[in-house]
Amino acid sequence: MTDRKQPAGQCPVCGSKDLRTLYDDTLGNDLPPFDYAFSPEHMRTYEVVRCNTCSHAFCILPADDIWKNYQSVVDAEYLSREEAHLLTAEKVVETMQRYIPSGILLDVGCATGDFLAVAKSRYAVEGLELSQWSSDIAKKRGFTIHTCTLSEIPPEKKYDIVTLFGVIEHFESPAQEIARISRLVRPGGYVFIWTGDIDSWLARLLGRKWWYIQGQHIQFFSRTSLDRVFSDVGFVPVACERYPFTTSLGSLSKSAFRYRILRPVARLFLDNRIARNRVITLRLPGEMLAVYRRAGHS
């Protein structure tokens, strides 16, 4: 981390121009990879800056509307992680049940519909997904999918629950998008969100090697900045837990291979015939599962 310069731009959460550089630009005018194959190329990023006013961190982008590249994403690696997605969704739905046991749910950034496949047993579910490839898969599974932006959802549509799992870090204008979500959530309704906490001790320890620091991630929230972006549009913070990432040890070994120092350990202890099918739940520092309730009564 450095304080070498005061970068141009303003915070997309609070509007402040009091910024400092955290990580230098290693992407230039290139586009980042938009899949999850996790090659060394994924670790290149635009300049990451931090707001001294609200603590939010974000990227200085070379162009507008980079999000449009998600419309053409094809991500075969995502399909290989289906088991982990389903196992984790079961844990997340258990958590959601403590706050709201039924209702109409919109999963923003639903990908191929793995979360919807689990949540449908408790909720009436719909998804929103920009990738044509992903949304086609989800539709073939029988789900109602909106292949559009949040701004294109009809204003008369109302939901009891909106979920954003691994999504908000991709928004170019997070405050604007959360305002749009606010208009879709009924008074008394809930938003459940999973994203990283850049203030966590693990994020500070790993620095630029923290797994959230990758090219396609352009927003890096702290608990403070996440509360602010929701509170500004009428949401009340309810809870913030650690996200229950649930997977087999064999699948976990694929993630560990991102870190060279962990590869021998992963190969020996995780990706072997005895261990690879064992299921574990990790609740890692810096993995926020935050809950917000829209003010008012339903």
**CATH of residue 200:** 3.40.50.150
Neighbours of 10 (CB within 10 A): 13
Better pLDDT: 31 or 274:
31
User: Is there a single domain that holds both residue 62 and residue 43?
Assistant: yes
Q: Where does the pLDDT of residue 1 fall: very low under 50, low under 70, confident under 90, or very high at 90 and above?
A: very low
Mean pLDDT of the chain: 88
Cα separation, 235 vs 185, in Å, equals 10
Q: Where does the pLDDT of residue 6 fall: very low under 50, low under 70, confident under 90, or very high at 90 and above?
A: low
Cα separation, 133 vs 267, in Å, equals 32
The whole domain housing 78 covers 73-294
Q: Is there a domain that residue 230 lies in?
A: yes
Portion of the chain with pLDDT greater than 70, in percent: 86
Better pLDDT: 269 or 85:
85
Strand partners, 145: 127
Q: Which residues neighbour 261 within 8 Å (Cβ) at sequence distance 6 or greater?
A: none
Neighbours of 272 (CB within 10 A): 13
**DSSP 8-state symbol, 105:** E
CB 268 within 8 A of CB 274: no
| Structural domains in the chain (count) | 2
User: Is there a single domain that holds both residue 41 and residue 98?
Assistant: no
Q: Is there a domain that residue 3 lies in?
A: no
Tell me: the pLDDT tens digits for 31-49?
988 887 777 788 899 999 9
Better pLDDT: 251 or 90:
90
Q: Where does the pLDDT of residue 280 fall: very low under 50, low under 70, confident under 90, or very high at 90 and above?
A: confident
At residue 66, does pLDDT exceed 90? no
End-to-end CA, the chain: 45
**pLDDT (0 to 100) of residue 179:** 96
Overall size of the chain counted in residues: 298
User: Is there a single domain that holds both residue 246 and residue 221?
Assistant: yes
Cα separation, 32 vs 45, in Å, equals 7
Cα separation, 199 vs 195, in Å, equals 12
CB 284 within 8 A of CB 227: no
Cα separation, 82 vs 261, in Å, equals 26
Q: Is there a domain that residue 7 lies in?
A: no
**pLDDT (0 to 100) of residue 8:** 66
Domain boundary among 36, 52, 70: 70
Cα separation, 105 vs 190, in Å, equals 9
Portion of the chain with pLDDT greater than 90, in percent: 69
For 187, phi then psi, to 5°, come to: -55, 130
The least confident of 27-36, 67-76, 148-157, 169-178 is: 67-76
Strand partners, 23: 48
Q: Where does the pLDDT of residue 2 fall: very low under 50, low under 70, confident under 90, or very high at 90 and above?
A: very low
User: Is there a single domain that holds both residue 64 and residue 93?
Assistant: no
User: Is there a single domain that holds both residue 203 and residue 269?
Assistant: yes
